Structure formats: C-alpha cells, structure tokens
Structure 1
Amino acid sequence: MRIISFNANGIRAAHRKGFFEWLKTQKADFVCIQETKAQHSQLIERDYFPVGYHCYYHDAEKKGYSGVALYCRQQPVRVVYGLGWDEFDREGRWLQADFEDLSVVSLYLPSGSSKDERQQFKYRCMERLHPHLEELSGHDRDYVICGDWNIAHKEIDLKNWKSNQKNSGFLPEERAWLDEVFGPVGMVDAFRRVDPSPDRYTWWSQRGRARENNVGWRIDYQVTTPGLADRARSAEIYTDENFSDHAPLIIDYDDA
C-alpha cells in the first residue's frame, strides 16, 4: 500500500509544474493533498480528478486559501468533512475517508508564523486535536493522518534548529505537543520508523537558495496508529522535481 502526502501550495500551481503527470507514475493507493487554495468549482480540468481514483475536496470558505483533498483507489464507506469545530472546518483542514479497517486523513494544521493571532489559533487546534488523537489511537482500526503539521519535532528535523527555537514551527510548546502525540497519546511518526537519517526535509523557504542548499524543515508527516507503523517498509521524500515549496512524502506499507 502506497500513500503520498503533499502540500501543493496551490493545486493549480502544482498542476502547471507537472505534479499530476508525475502522480500517474506512482501507483499510489491514497494521495493526501493540503493547501489546495481552490474552490471545487474552479477545478474544471480532468487532471484534478485522476483516472482510477475517487476524489474528494474540502475547500476553505475563503477563496484561494487552505483546503485539503484526498484521492482513493477504492471507494470509501464514509467520507468525513471536518471535525465539527467551526473555526477549523471553515478553513478546510481535515478530510477523512473510512474503509472497513482503515481510515485515511488529509490534515493541514495551521501555521502560526504570520502573526500571534494565528499562533493562538494553532494552539487551539492542537488542544482540540489532542483528545481526538487519543481516541483514534485507542481504536482497533488503523489510522493514518497525512499532511502538513507545521511543526518540526526534533533538532534533526530542521537544518537551522538553533536559530529557530523562538519561531513558530519549532517552539518548545509545539515540540512538547508532538512529544505527547508520539508518546502517551500513542501515535507514531511512520517516516522515522523507517528512516532515522538527518537532512531529510519536506519544506524549504522560497528565500535565498534554501532548497538548493537543503536548508529545510521536516513538517510533513504520516502519523499512524502503531499497527500500521509496524507495516511501514520504505519512505521517500521526492525532490527530483519542484512542484511546490514542499516535497511529496511517499511511504509504502505492507498490506495487512
């Protein structure tokens, strides 16, 4: 089972840069996309609904902002748009597809880098997500929550960690929250289960030559329940082409 997570930073921009042509070569079972920055009605080209997939979009109310998508080879039993939190759901940040014994989620956790108001919103989302993740980890079924979590967990997960300790995305409170998620809450960072190496990043600033010099952050994750993490066998961050300021995160799992 192959799962791809990708922050497109505008799905129409990613399309122009060749993302959907590349996707045809991947044979993915699930594709989770974040930051679509489009309304469903604007996606009139067939490429936005790839052949062989059941395609779902959860748009932000604000045009050109946020939004998530999910492509599934099999038709889900149920699709869940949002989590019932108005301020979160209005921004199109959670899209879940349920199958018989597996749930796949495309998540776009807010960034707090623009201003303190957004950082406070990010903290509220983290607080609300904590018990929900606890509930999911206690289920018998497998869950994978793919997406841009906008937090680098450990020093290994960003190049310039010393100079970013007071910046959103690497604040002590954010990192402690991920300690909880990957500790007592019981979820697993599936990428780190199979790849412990440094300098493995999924996002680079568009300033300077950050991507060329691999001065990046690993803020895109596939967060799974333990049973699914045990089946993760390989992981790749695809950087040969530049579809976005993020790179696609690809993880292959053994079938159950």
Structure 2
Amino acid sequence: MKIASINVNGMRRAVERGFLDWLKAQDADIVCVQNLKTKSFELDDSILYPEGYEGYFLDAEQDDFAGVGIYCRKIPKAIMYGLGFEQCDNEGRFLQADYERFSVASFLMPEDPHAKQRFIAQYSDYLSKLRRKRRQYIIAGSWYIAHKTVDLDHWSEHQSTPGFRPEERAFMDQVFGPMDFVDTFREVERNAGHHTWWEKPDSDVPRKRQDGWRTDYQITGPDIARTVKSAWIDRDADFSEFAPLIIEYDLEL
C-alpha cells in the first residue's frame, strides 16, 4: 500500500501547476491533501473525483483558509469529519478514512504560533487517547514543526523561529516518546538533508540546493511502523512550496 501526503497550499493553484497529472502518475492507494484554501463545492468534478479515486473533503468555515482531503482508490467503510473540538472542525483540519484493519487521516496543524499552541493542548489529549485504542492509525499531514536538528538547514539560527521553538519540539518529543507514535520516514532515512518545505522557494534553483525544513509526517503506532517498506520525498513535484511525502507499507486495504 502506498500513501502520499502533500500540503497543496491552495488546491486551485496546485491543479494549474500540474497536481492532477502528478496524482495520476503517482498511482498511490491513498493521497492525503492539506491546505486546500477553497471550499470543495467550488471545485470541478475533475478535481473532486479524479479518474480512479473517490475524493472526500472537510472545508474550513473561513474562505481561502485551511481544509483537508483524502483521495481513495478503495472506498472506505466510513469517513470521520473532524475531532469534535471547534478549532479543529471549524477550520477543516482533520479527516479520517476507516478501513477494515486501520484508519488513515489527513491532518493540518495551524501555522500561526498562538493558534498552534491552543490546538496542541487539545490535540495532545486526542493523541494520548488514540494510542490506548486497539485500532491502528496512520496520520499524514503538515505539522509546521521540524522535530530534530536534522530536519532543517542552519538549525542553530532557528531556535526561536516558529516551527522550531523549544515548546514545539517538546510536543513532538511527547508524540514520538511517551505517546508511542513513530515517525515513519525516519524508519527508513536517518540522515539530514530531507525536506518537505522551503522557506524562500526559488524556481531557478534546484530544491536540493535551497534551505529547507521537514515539517510533514506520516505517523503511526509501532505495529504499522514495522510494515514500512520505503519512504521518500518527491522533490521534483513543484506544484506547491511543499513536496509530497510518500510511504510504502506492507499492508493491504
């Protein structure tokens, strides 16, 4: 099973820049998208239901803001919209597809530091309860946090920068520590230099030569983490300032 996750940073613009062609070529089983910045009912059917996929979306109440979606090759048993607290649900930040053996969620953390801290307080409670359930989960999306020093360039210059502040990194320490979630990308690749977002993207300079951050994750429990076969970041996809994160699992839907 292949799962791709991408912060499109505006679905309409991403489509104009080749998102649907990328989606077709990727041939993933599930594609989680974040930061749609549009209402799904305003999108054409070619975007909502690309060939071979069923699309599911959770819009933000505010215009031109947030929103998440999931493209599925196999229709899920159920879709869960939101997490039951206002900041998440009204801003369109969590959408979950339930299958027989596990669930896959598309997730978007708030980018604003103050909004992020409010969100983390409630999201931490959810994650703690989630790991006590018998069901398995894969949560894919943008966290707007680089966890370790290997996750961004020139880390020593960014210790007070939103996205790498001590309190944000401490939250990720809890997620990948006591909460017992696993950063699936790091199950495969331990080295620095792997990024999903570029602070000042320059179309004339290859991404591998630009300063970047790894702020996008697919997290899961230890059982599913042991099924990870491969993981990579598609730096050639240029329809967003973010790059797709793709993980292959030894699982069947």
Tell me whether the two structures share a fold, i.e. TM-score over 0.5. Answer: yes
Structure 1 segment 74-153 matched on structure 2, within 5 A: 74-112=74-112, 119-153=113-147
Q: CA RMSD in A?
A: 1.5
Any conservation in 2 of the 1:199–1:214 contact (CA below 8 Å)? no
Matched, 1:198 2:172: no
Any conservation in 1 of the 2:183–2:218 contact (CA below 8 Å)? yes
CA distance in 2 between partners of 1:19 and 1:196 (Å): 29
The size of the alignment, in residue pairs, is: 250
Deviates more, 1:42-51 or 1:119-128: 42-51
Any conservation in 1 of the 2:87–2:119 contact (CA below 8 Å)? no
Match of 1:179 in 2: 173
Post-superposition offset of 1:225: 1.2
Post-superposition offset of 1:140: 2.2
Matched, 1:215 2:211: yes
CA distance in 2 between partners of 1:27 and 1:170 (Å): 33
Match of 2:230 in 1: 234
Aligned amino acid, residue 229 of structure 1:
A
Any conservation in 2 of the 1:106–1:146 contact (CA below 8 Å)? yes
CA distance in 2 between partners of 1:205 and 1:120 (Å): 20
Q: Secondary structure at the match of 1:251?
A: strand
Any conservation in 1 of the 2:201–2:241 contact (CA below 8 Å)? no
Matched, 1:14 2:10: no
TM-score, normalised by the number of residues in structure 2: 0.95
Deviates more, 1:128-137 or 1:34-43: 128-137
Match of 1:72 in 2: 72
Per-residue CA shift, 1:139-170, capped at 9, x if unaligned? 22220100000100000000021111001100
Q: Which runs of 5+ in 1 are unaligned?
A: 113-118
Post-superposition offset of 1:22: 1.4
TM-score, normalised by the number of residues in structure 1: 0.93
Post-superposition offset of 1:239: 1.1
Post-superposition offset of 1:210: 8.6
Match of 1:254 in 2: 250
Post-superposition offset of 1:212: 5.9
Kindly report structure 1 stretches of 4+ aligned residues shifted beyond 4 Å: 207-210
CA distance in 2 between partners of 1:71 and 1:222 (Å): 16
